[in-house]
Chain A
Amino acid sequence: MKITRWITALALALSLACNSKPATTPSTETNDSSATTSPQTLNLYTWADYIKPELVERFEKENNCKVVIDTFDSNEAMFAKISSGATGYDVIVPSSYMVQVMARQNLLMDLDHSKIPNLSNVDRDYLKIAFDKDMKFSAPYMLSYTGIGYLASKVGEVEPSWNLFADSRFNARCTLLNDMRETIGAGLKFNGFSLNSTDENELAKARDTVIGWKKNIAKFENEQYKNGIASGEFVLVHGYSGDILQVQEENEDIVFVLPKEGYSIACDDLVVPKSAKNPELAFAFINFIHDPDVAAENTEYISYLCPNASSYTKLSAEILANPGIFPSPEVRAVGEVLNDLGDEIVKYNKIWDEIKAAQ
């Protein structure tokens, strides 16, 4: 009796499983074959809307391949996934500091420069401050900056300086980023030190500067400052160039400046993981991105700067005149890249706690 019951249950399970099968398997199989088994597929792992769609179509046509784009939302999440053994991606677009971590963990393939001749177009001035100066395993993709956005009608003519955050005219009408490295970095730069300083005395000075600003600002804010400056609630914000340029499209009163004391440059890089299935196509893709015409077109679309020196002459006058995308050479010279500090980061954690606790 019992055995027949088991058999019935099993038969029931099988019949139901068979019923549900046709609905699911065909679609998954077609998806699989297009994504993985075809040799001519480039799997790109990047941020959403981070490449001009027409350029992807052009690359597909020129190389007779298919580009599959997947997206992630933070470097850390992407790293957790890749370092746990997720495979199948041919080109990944992490930020520079994460490239350092991935390189240390031996996750990245060396770039074959003979297959990427266009790397000679990459801006040498940028490479001087980059972490991977010889582009051993990464090619820069897009640069963005952290600076100051303000309402010209409220702030007036000012010199671009971090000291604006100490100006009592903007008391409770300005915000600093709620980001340890960026905000302590601003304090370090104001005092004339490196963004990547690990010297206790320098950090203490930066701490005192930021605590001074803290008394003047409305709050530490990473997201809402965009709405705040768009609606005029805030008149002066510490923010990322990409964000502030987007808000500028709606409120022409907003100006973006890079402080004269120095600021941070963030770069997202193109890397090929060791687990890539199609490294040849990955190198072809990096080469394509650094074609001067393609780089210029991509810069115009994304409003970040692709550091490709040969593409600069092809950029529109509008982009060249925009300091949030294309800073003048003198301004560019004082920018610095945030490095991964490894274990030294505890010093920053300590100082950040002190800043947050200060009254």
Chain B
Amino acid sequence: MKQRLSLPFVMTLAVLFFFYIPMLVLVANSFNASKFGGSWKGFSLIWYETLFQDRHVWHAVKVTLIVALSATAISSVLGTISALALHRYQGRLQRMHQTLIYAPLVVPDILVGISLLLLFAALGIQLSITTIILAHTTFCMSYVCMVVLARLQDFDHSVLEAAQDLGANQWVTTTRILLPLIAPGVLSGALLAFTLSIDDYVITFFVAGPGSTTLPIHIYSMIKRGNMPIINALSTLMISMTFSAVWLSQKLAKRRILS
């Protein structure tokens, strides 16, 4: 008997198709000798060669990573702290706090970008990589806070009370009980912050100063007369790094379960 294709199955296939086909096209085009990707002109590694000689692209990669790592570190700490405060204490002040944390999630990027630029200009702060880190921290923090807050919703407070009953002081309960328990939430918040920071264009454009062009800004700027295929090559490298990281972590996780 022929089994009917179920709707969920078709939907899953369609979604996976739309996720991965563009990436496959990009990977294929990074080996295409043609500059325009309209037609296949033969296999070539020329774009990888050009990519490794382009110091502007690599400088942009370096700036992007510095910004993403710093903003992730700072916003994870601040976001976790504010989530703990929002969860632990109630009151009018906390409700306002919650609204203020939510706001950056809904305010349009262009508004955040231009208002930060106006603020930095008014305070006479020279735009640089530091101003980008500050800007990214402001919006990443809200995301981290929301993720950690969700994790805290089903957090069992009796565990903390049990620890205190057994004589653990505040410091020990926080570092040995609370933090390890919410660590998965903090980690997923940090990963979200990292991805948001690494591909932000609108806000970054306004607060970037001399010498701090990030990769998204550089890529957009290449529209005028840039060598677009080298971006295909760079993206292919980034995709393969991401996939091997995911593969490796899954392998490690499996080994830990088996042993």
Q: Is the CB of A69 within 8 A of B56?
A: yes
A316 is an interface residue with CB less than 8 A from chain B: no
Q: Is the CB of A24 within 8 A of B227?
A: no
Residues 173-188 of B, flagged 1 when their CB comes within 8 A of A and 0 if not, give: 0110000000000000
A8, A12, A32, A87: the one contacting B129 at CB < 8 Å is A32
Q: Which of B74-110 contact A (CB under 8 A)?
A: 74, 77-78, 81, 84-85, 88
B130, B175, B218: the one contacting A28 at CB < 8 Å is B130
In the complex, the chain A residue whose C-beta lies closest to that of B74 is: A20
User: Given the complex of chains A and B, what is the CA–CA distance between A69 and B56 in angstroms?
Assistant: 8
Q: Which residues of B contact A17 (CB under 8 A)?
A: 74, 77
In the complex, the chain B residue whose C-beta lies closest to that of A77 is: B205
Q: Is the CB of A230 within 8 A of B38?
A: yes
User: Given the complex of chains A and B, what is the CA–CA distance between A250 and B211 in angstroms?
Assistant: 34
A49 is an interface residue with CB less than 8 A from chain B: yes
B238 is an interface residue with CB less than 8 A from chain A: no
Q: Is the CB of B38 within 8 A of A228?
A: yes
Given A8-B174, A17-B77, output 19 extra A-B contacts at Cβ < 8 Å.
A11-B171, A13-B77, A13-B81, A24-B66, A31-B66, A31-B211, A31-B212, A32-B126, A35-B209, A47-B221, A73-B217, A80-B206, A85-B117, A86-B117, A88-B209, A89-B210, A230-B34, A246-B225, A302-B225
Interface hub of A4, A36, A86, A87 (most chain B Cβ within 10 A): A86
Query: Mind listing 12 A-B residue pairs with CB under 8 Å?
Result: A4-B170, A50-B225, A71-B221, A73-B224, A81-B206, A84-B117, A87-B121, A88-B126, A226-B36, A227-B38, A230-B38, A242-B224
* Contact status of A28 and B70, CB under 8 A, knowing A35-B212, A47-B224, A86-B209: yes
B152 is an interface residue with CB less than 8 A from chain A: no
User: Given the complex of chains A and B, what is the CA–CA distance between A81 and B126 in angstroms?
Assistant: 13
Shortest distance from the beta carbon of B77 to any chain A beta carbon, whole Å:
4
A-B contact count (CB 8 A): 161
* Shortest Cβ-Cβ A-B pairs, 10 listed: A85-B121, A35-B211, A71-B221, A227-B38, A43-B210, A73-B220, A20-B73, A24-B70, A48-B221, A231-B38
Shortest distance from the beta carbon of B220 to any chain A beta carbon, whole Å:
4
Shortest distance from the beta carbon of A75 to any chain B beta carbon, whole Å:
10
Q: Is the CB of A28 within 8 A of B205?
A: no
A34 is an interface residue with CB less than 8 A from chain B: yes
A110 is an interface residue with CB less than 8 A from chain B: no
Shortest distance from the beta carbon of B188 to any chain A beta carbon, whole Å:
18
Q: Is the CB of B118 within 8 A of A84?
A: yes
B41, B69, B225: the one contacting A250 at CB < 8 Å is B41
Shortest distance from the beta carbon of B32 to any chain A beta carbon, whole Å:
11
Shortest distance from the beta carbon of A44 to any chain B beta carbon, whole Å:
9
Binding site secondary structure of chain A: helix
B112 is an interface residue with CB less than 8 A from chain A: no
Q: Is the CB of A68 within 8 A of B210?
A: yes
Q: Which residues of B contact A68 (CB under 8 A)?
A: 210-211
B246 is an interface residue with CB less than 8 A from chain A: no
* Contact status of A227 and B220, CB under 8 A, knowing A12-B81, A86-B127, A89-B210: no
Q: Is the CB of A28 within 8 A of B129?
A: yes
Shortest distance from the beta carbon of A171 to any chain B beta carbon, whole Å:
22
Q: Is the CB of B210 within 8 A of A35?
A: yes
User: Given the complex of chains A and B, what is the CA–CA distance between A22 and B168 in angstroms?
Assistant: 31
User: Given the complex of chains A and B, what is the CA–CA distance between A228 and B88 in angstroms?
Assistant: 61
B35 is an interface residue with CB less than 8 A from chain A: yes
A357 is an interface residue with CB less than 8 A from chain B: no
B223 is an interface residue with CB less than 8 A from chain A: yes
Q: Which residues of A contact B37 (CB under 8 A)?
A: 227
Shortest distance from the beta carbon of A27 to any chain B beta carbon, whole Å:
5
A70 is an interface residue with CB less than 8 A from chain B: yes
* Contact status of A81 and B205, CB under 8 A, knowing A8-B170, A24-B133, A32-B130: yes
A70, A84, A228: the one contacting B213 at CB < 8 Å is A70
A9 is an interface residue with CB less than 8 A from chain B: yes
User: Given the complex of chains A and B, what is the CA–CA distance between A32 and B129 in angstroms?
Assistant: 7
Q: Which residues of A contact B174 (CB under 8 A)?
A: 8, 12
Q: Is the CB of A48 within 8 A of B225?
A: yes
B114 is an interface residue with CB less than 8 A from chain A: yes
Q: Is the CB of A86 within 8 A of B121?
A: yes
User: Given the complex of chains A and B, what is the CA–CA distance between A242 and B224 in angstroms?
Assistant: 9
Q: Which residues of A contact B127 (CB under 8 A)?
A: 86-88
Q: Is the CB of A28 within 8 A of B209?
A: no
Q: Which of A242-280 contact B (CB under 8 A)?
A: 242, 246-247, 249-250
Residues 4-39 of A, flagged 1 when their CB comes within 8 A of B and 0 if not, give: 110011011100110010011001100110111000
